[in-house]
Amino acid sequence: MLKAMNSRTRRLTLFTLPLLFAGMLSTGKALAETLVFTAIPDQDETRLQERFSKVADYLEKTLEVDVRFVPVKDYAATVSAFRNNQVQLAWFGGLSGVQARRLVDGSEAIAQGVEDTQFKTYFIAHKSAAIEPGEDFPKDMAGKTFTFGSKGSTSGRLMPEFYIREETGQAPDKFFSRVGFSDNHSRTIALVESGAYQLGAVSFDVWETELAAGDIDLDAVKVVWETPTYPDYQWTIRGDVDKTFGEGFKKKVQQALLSMDDPDLLASFPRKKFIKAENKDYQQILNVAKDIGLID
């Protein structure tokens, strides 16, 4: 059982993940009596492992069941793992959560960070772009190079693309000279900081976390605009967990998340605390995804 496993074994790598999932797929079910969860890979793997191995320990102690965190290679894999019951709980972004809940009947958003009700995206610029910060959308970004984060990211793709279209009347590949996808927020910052792209869209919380850690060179890159706020990250759970773990288990998981009060654990997200969430909280994300053609 997991309680007897050491930390090295519990911190599964991306190389062992396919083997674990292959075993699950053979039965179509999760490991017996083990709550398996994952998270969108919005930062580099090392930071994700640091964050969610702590969460696994906390949930295992609080819920009194074995808990395992498994990382995935991209946002789409997170949704697929949830759909296939390879994971029963996931820390999704707004868009990936909407996608997952549409694929699994009865699945619910059960908790979100207090910051997630008012999330935002930063548009960042390399010094070579010569763009100054301002309250208005910087139209002088036109013709420059630009990178989103992951194609499935709410803060790194969905909402920044929405505002680019709304403010310019053009698709990103028409407004910018070249558009790319970095795969995660940390890499977006690194690409713009290096000058590989002149501009990028990044989650405000990843920017603030890396800035506080001293990992951003403000002589090379800076924030030039921030979007209006929107709902984003949330914990989503499958609707059939009570059948697997017993009546009332979904509520027990929700309460465990809402009761998380370890400052170090919360800071790793970073969130001040978790509050209740409902599926309807993410209607705006669904509407935007339909508007720009990411969801039918």
Per-residue pLDDT of the chain (296 residues), as tens digits, is 333 333 333 344 333 444 344 444 333 444 458 999 999 987 667 777 888 999 999 999 999 999 999 999 888 999 999 999 999 999 999 999 999 999 999 999 999 999 999 999 999 999 999 999 999 999 999 999 999 999 989 999 999 999 999 999 999 999 999 999 998 999 999 999 999 999 999 999 999 999 999 999 999 999 999 999 999 999 999 999 999 999 999 999 999 999 999 998 998 888 999 999 999 999 999 999 999 888 88
Q: Do domains 2-116+231-290 and 120-226 have the same CATH topology?
A: yes
CB 110 within 8 A of CB 254: yes
**Beta carbons of 182 and 88 less than 8 angstroms apart:** no
Distance from C-alpha of 32 to C-alpha of 2, rounded to nearest angstrom:
12
Using alpha carbons, select from 27, 21, 12, 19 the residue that is nearest to residue 86.
Answer: 21
The predicted pLDDT at position 13 comes to 39
The structural domains of the chain, with segments of one domain joined by +, span: 2-116+231-290, 120-226
Q: Cα–Cα–Cα angle for 200, 202, 206, nearest 5°?
A: 145
pLDDT of residue 50: 82
Question: Residue 143: CB partners within 8 Å, gap ≥ 6?
Answer: 176, 177
Q: Find out whether the peptide bond into 231 is cis, omega within 30 degrees of 0.
A: no
2-116+231-290 folds as D-Maltodextrin-Binding Protein; domain 2 (3.40.190)
pLDDT digits (tens, 9 = 90+) for 197-247: 999 999 999 999 999 999 999 999 999 999 999 999 999 999 999 999 999
Beta bridge partners of 266: none
| CA angle 88–289–107, rounded 5-degree value | 20
**Which residue pairs, CB below 8 angstroms and at least 24 apart, start in 48-55?**
49/11, 50/268, 51/268, 51/269, 52/91, 53/7, 53/10, 53/11, 54/264, 54/265, 54/268, 55/265
CA distances from 7 to 12, 49, 228, 279 (A): 9, 11, 41, 34
Helices within the chain (DSSP H only): 7-10, 17-25, 45-63, 75-83, 94-103, 159-168, 172-175, 185-194, 204-212, 241-245, 249-258, 263-267, 283-291
Determine the straight-line distance between the first and last CA of the chain, rounded to whole angstroms.
Answer: 42
CB 279 within 8 A of CB 108: yes
Superfamily of chain region 120-226: Periplasmic binding protein-like II (3.40.190.10)
pLDDT at residue 83, as a whole number? 97
* Separation between Cα atoms, residue 54 and residue 50, nearest integer Å: 7
- pLDDT, residue 25, reads 39
Separation of alpha carbons 230 and 153, rounded Å: 13
Residues 155, 224 contacting (CB under 8 angstroms): no
> What are the CB-based long-range contacts (under 8 Å, 24+) for 3-9?
3/60, 3/66, 7/53
42 CB-near residues (< 8 Å, 6+ apart): 93, 149, 150, 153, 156, 184, 185, 203, 206
